[in-house]
Amino acid sequence: MRGERVEFGWCEGASECPVRQGVSGADAETEKILASDRRPLRVLLIEDSEDDVLLLLRELRRAGYEPEHEVVCTAGGMERALDRGRWDIILSDHSMPAFSSFAALELLRRRGLSDELPFILVSGKIGEEAAAAAMKAGAHDYVMKDNLTRLGAAIERELRETEVRRERRRAERRYRLMFEQSPLSIQIFSPDGRMLSANRAWRRLWGVEPEQVAGYNVLEDPQLLAGGVMPYIREGFAGRAAVIPPVRYEPDRTIPGVSPVSYRWVRAFIYPVVGEEGEVQEVVLIHEDITETREAWEALREAERRYRSIFENAVEGIFQSTPEGELITANPAMARMLGYASAGELLACVKDITGIYADPGRRDEFRRLVEERGSVSGFELRLRRRDGSEIWVSLAGRAVRDASGKVVGYEGTLGDITGRKRAEEALRQSEELYRSVVEQAQENIMLVDLETRLILQSNPAFRRTLGYTEEELRGMSIYDIVAHDRRSIDWNIERIKSSGRYSPGERRYRRRDGSLAYMEVSVSVISYDGRDAMCVVAHDITGRKRAEEELRESEERYRAVVEQTAEGLFLHDPETRRIVATNRAFRRMFGYTEEELRGMSIYELVDDTPENVELNIRRTLENPDYYYVGERRYRRKDGSVLEVEGSGGVIYYAGRRVICSMVRDITERKRAERAMREIREAERRRISRELHDGVLQDLIYTLQSMQVEQHLSGGGGEERERQIDALRRAVEGLREAIYELRSGEMAERPLIRSVEALVELHRRRTPHREVRLAVSEDFPADLSGPAVAEIARVVQEALANVRRHSEAGLVEIGLHVEGEEAVVEIEDDGRGFDPAASGGGVGLVGMRERAQSLRGRLEVESRPGEGTRVRLRVPLSALSGLPASSRR
């Protein structure tokens, strides 16, 4: 199996299909860091296209996997790949020059791997009939290469389903193993009484194969009815478990067609298998061969009848001894207990009973108690057997006295309690383990009496979850803490009683403060202090339920807002540039259906260059909370163009990061703006014509007349000079007003052209001043539109201020880009002023208002005698109609 860092090579066995087996390059360390966070996936790629292999590997990594892969494109290559390694999944192209998906599926079928190894068809072009045929041939799913986004989900699902199939086969094998290897005879019947199967122990017990009794129906067996066991069997078929008393099967009282060599004693158990709806699906009949046990019991009874001696046949050991401890008599049970063949052998070997005490001091304690009390029972001690091993016994004895009261001996019985002592030790260890596990468990655990419904015990986790102390919970009933009606609780308890184990699922519990805790509950019946109790294990899922509820409410709010808003909303993947979701307003706005839009590229909608689209996507990702795109043009389904105003932000959708864009139809608004602009331009041109042809001409005529008169009269004094200067200034002011009225054309011209026109006008009007214009190479060449006209008016106002107030000799205008902002600077070497002291005139206030309307800012730097610098900064995103490629 090849790893990730291998070079480009050829598919094994097919020299005509070069593919890449892994990744290499300078970013290996970065790839290792990213790979450490991914889940390993061993994938066999059946593909003959290098590009498709790279796309599949990239999609697997994007889905959270670190693929360990090998690429093949022939049957031989696939055979060798299957021999070399164990694969998690196979991704296969449909049709290749030397191989196909059908051939690959047939190869898997021959090797018995069809159900063991998931097979996903990944094809670029495949018809529905071919896809259906591949699925019938054994493919588990298919994914189109132009929509690999669902590949990760398909792999996750198939891996999970494959594991389920494997677990189901393992469970079936375990069941078959237990069924066949069980020492108990097991038969399985259908609900109507027909025998379906039987295990090896059944065949061995009855000496017959199931085929020999084909058609046998246990409910129609007259011999069982005659034996009196039919009511028990009918109980099982009615859905109730039953225990059939021991029955002796003789050669003429067996299953029809079967003649065992000798009779057998059996004890039978019948259990119904009940479905979820309460119906009986199967009935299991279990026979326990107790022939040997029964025969031993009968032999013991025969011995009792023969000997009629409690002493000889007592289960416990019986002895008598002298006061000094010499063993006088002992029964066979005691001899066996101590490892002797007979009582005679015991008496011959053990002269002093003290010799068999593992702790001799216990003998003196027994004598003292007997003499004080007369008799002792339940005195536990250890005895040494003949082979040196030790056993625990329970001693009951008394002192034998003569007529004078003198102790003449002792007699007693010994019961072997070694098994019980071992069980007690095991129980003690089990109790300690239980306490340790329960007390330290994070799960909530409590014990409830099945009959009284009272809480018997609870662990610290349970008490912390509900807020009770141990004393408060002890004595409370389950009705006090389970937030369900009493009838539902009782119904569940009855089911627990009948099945012994039950998982009610999610339940609500009341905390001490009255709030509710959500739990996932499973219950089993255990024995506690000699009574049945429910062991309740509850997993607290309150946090998960709260998160699910919040998610559901959030989803509902999101759906309500998205579907009811008048603005068009659409989500698109920033990686694939594909649309993943839209709202009703968006589909109505552009005339598409939801299915048509899903998966459509954003380039198909936006009526702009791909470079400009990419620029807006990049800016949105850099400003994930909110980004104003501005005015854009989109294409409808019918080919018409829709003018919109757009904005966007980054959100998470279906576990991935997408861009949520909102568009507002401004077609009517733009049409109205153009109409109003045309009306305003026409009115400005009319007013400028009237001012130019009327008022301006009259003022010029008057000025010229006064100048001629002054010249002819040889000077008219200071007053006449002031009048002429005032009239000259009025003419200049009126000319500026007429130009400003005609400057509406700036909205239709690029910004650079408008600034160049303003500079040229300034040169003509102030020939004694030097004016310089510098435009950087990165400044957009064809920046135009209403927003651009606002920038030109700021430049126009700044130049007017220079002419009127600065007395400057040099003016410099600069246009350049800083980051994502367009910057315009107007600097002069005039007399300057104090911006804080002046407060700003009407012109400066107007420039600031224009800057704010463009979401920009105006910076004014000036000091008396040091000139003035006006700097306007405007975000490029606020200037509509900006192509990303129009940089000079």
Q: At what angle do helices 101-110 and 75-84 cross, to 10 degrees?
A: 40
Asked whether residue 623 is assigned to any structural domain, the reply reads yes
For residue 690 the two structure tokens come to 């009237």
Q: Which residues pair with 393 in a beta bridge?
A: 381, 416
Instruction: Looking at the structure, tell me whether residues 361 and 321 fall in a common domain.
Output: yes
Residue 300 inside a domain? The answer is no
* Whole-number pLDDT of residue 3: 39
Looking at residue 877, its pLDDT comes to: 74
What is the percent of the chain where pLDDT is above 70?
87
pLDDT digits 0-9 by tens, 162-209? 888 888 888 778 877 787 788 888 888 888 888 888 888 888 877 778
pLDDT at 12 exceeding the cut of 60:
no
Please report the pLDDT score of residue 812 as a whole number. Answer: 92
Q: Which of 261, 295, 329 is the last residue of a domain?
A: 295
Who has greater pLDDT, 691 or 857?
A: 857
Q: How far apart are CA 427 and CA 421, in angstroms?
A: 9
Residue with tokens 């018409």: 640
Domain membership of residue 742 (yes or no) is no
pLDDT value at residue 18: 43
Lowest mean pLDDT among 253-257, 422-426, 463-467, 620-624: 253-257
Nearest Cα to Cα of residue 257 among 293, 228, 215: 215
**152 and 24 share one domain:** yes
User: Residue 23 — pLDDT band, cuts 50, 70, 90?
Assistant: very low
Instruction: Judge if 227 and 247 occupy the same domain.
Output: yes
Task: Answer whether residue 509 is part of any domain.
Answer: yes
CA-nearest of 460, 462, 501 to 478 is: 462
What's the domain range around 18?
8-172
Amino acid identity of residue 672, one-letter, is: A
Q: What is the mean pLDDT of residues 437-454?
A: 83
Structure confidence at residue 741 (pLDDT): 59
Model pLDDT, residue 629: 66
Cα dihedral 221, 225, 231, 237, rounded to 10, equals 0
Query: What's the pLDDT at 294?
Result: 81
pLDDT of residue 627: 63
Confidence of residue 20 (pLDDT cuts 50, 70, 90): very low
What span, in angstroms and rounded, lies between the C-alpha atoms of 786 and 764?
27
pLDDT at 253 over 80: no
- In sequence order, what are the beta bridge partners of 289? 266
Q: 147 and 126: one domain?
A: yes
pLDDT band of 884, cuts 50, 70, 90? very low
pLDDT score for 742: 57
The domain boundary, picked from 144, 172, 200, lies at: 172
Q: How confident is the model at residue 735 (pLDDT cuts 50, 70, 90)?
A: low
Residues 496 and 631 in one domain: no
Band (pLDDT 50/70/90 cuts) for residue 380 is: confident
Do 865 and 769 belong together in one domain? yes
Mean pLDDT along residues 43-53: 90
| pLDDT for residue 432 | 77
Residue 351 contacts residue 446 (beta carbons within 8 Å): no
In this prediction, residue 304 carries a pLDDT of 65
Tell me the mean pLDDT in the region 680-694.
71
Average pLDDT over residues 546-562: 77
> 698-717: per-residue pLDDT in tens?
777 677 777 777 777 766 67
How many domains does the structure of the chain reveal?
6
Q: How far apart are CA 800 and CA 739, in angstroms?
A: 12
* DSSP sequence for 60-81: HHHTTEEEEEEEE-SHHHHHHH
Question: Could you tell me the two tokens for 562?
Answer: 């998205």
Question: Residue 358 — very low, low, confident or very high, per pLDDT cuts 50/70/90?
Answer: confident
Are residues 158 and 17 part of one domain? yes
**pLDDT over threshold 50, residue 769:** yes
Same domain, 753 and 866: yes
Confidence at 839, pLDDT banded by 50, 70, 90: low
Same structural domain, 523 and 601: no
Distance from C-alpha of 582 to C-alpha of 269, rounded to nearest angstrom = 64
Write down the pLDDT at residue 5. 33
Structure confidence at residue 374 as a pLDDT band (50, 70, 90):
confident
In the predicted model, what is the mean pLDDT of residues 838-854?
74
| Shared-domain flag, residues 16 and 163 | yes
State which of 544, 574, 591 marks the end of a domain: 544
The whole-number pLDDT of residue 8 equals: 35
The average confidence (pLDDT) of the chain is 80
pLDDT (0 to 100) of residue 840: 54
pLDDT at res. 33: 56
Burial class (CB in 10 A: 0-12, 13-18, 19+), 800: middle
Question: What CATH number corresponds to the domain at position 479?
Answer: 3.30.450.20
The whole-number pLDDT of residue 869 equals: 92
Helix (H) or strand (E) holding 506: strand 501-510
Number of neighbouring beta carbons within 10 Å of residue 792: 23
> What is the model's pLDDT at position 813?
92
With beta carbons less than 8 A apart as the criterion, state whether 220 and 262 touch. no
Instruction: Label each residue of 760-782 as H, E or C.
Output: HHHHHHCCCCEEEEEECCCCECC
pLDDT of 59 > 60? The answer is yes
Mean pLDDT of 59-80: 90
pLDDT level of residue 19 (50, 70, 90 thresholds): very low
709 part of a folded domain? no
Burial label, 194 (beta-carbon count in 10 A; 0-12, 13-18, 19+): middle
In one letter, which amino acid is 624? P
Q: What CATH number does residue 146 fall under?
A: 3.40.50.2300
The answer to whether the beta carbons of residues 127 and 112 sit under 8 Å apart is: no
The reply to whether 101 and 163 lie within a common domain is: yes
Helix, strand counts (H, E) of the chain? 30, 32
CATH number at residue 792: 3.30.565.10
Q: In the prediction, which pLDDT does 555 show?
A: 74
Please give the full DSSP string across 4-44, using - where no structure is assigned: S---EEE-TT-TT-EEE-S--STTHHHHHHHHTTSEEEEEE
Q: In this structure, is residue 575 part of a structural domain?
A: yes
Of the pLDDT bands very low, low, confident and very high (cuts 50, 70, 90), residue 626 is low
pLDDT tens digit sequence for 446-498: 888 888 889 888 889 888 888 898 888 888 888 988 988 888 888 888 888 88
pLDDT at 31: 57
* Res 814: pLDDT: 93
Is residue 288 one of the residues assigned to a domain?
A: yes
pLDDT at 307: 55
Q: What is the mean pLDDT of residues 106-123?
A: 86
pLDDT in tens, 233-250: 888 888 888 888 887 776
In a domain, 638, yes or no: yes
Amino acid, res. 686: R
Residues 242, 332, single domain; the answer is no
pLDDT of the residue at 71: 93
pLDDT at 562 over 80: no
Tell me what the mean pLDDT of segment 116-136 comes to.
84
Share of the chain above pLDDT 90, in %: 6
For β-strands 18-20 and 8-10, DSSP reports them as antiparallel
Strand order, beta sheet including 568-572: 579-582, 568-572, 656-665, 641-653, 627-635
| H helix or E strand, kind and range, residue 688 | helix 667-690
Task: Provide CB contacts within 8 A for 374, sequence distance 6+.
Answer: 398, 399
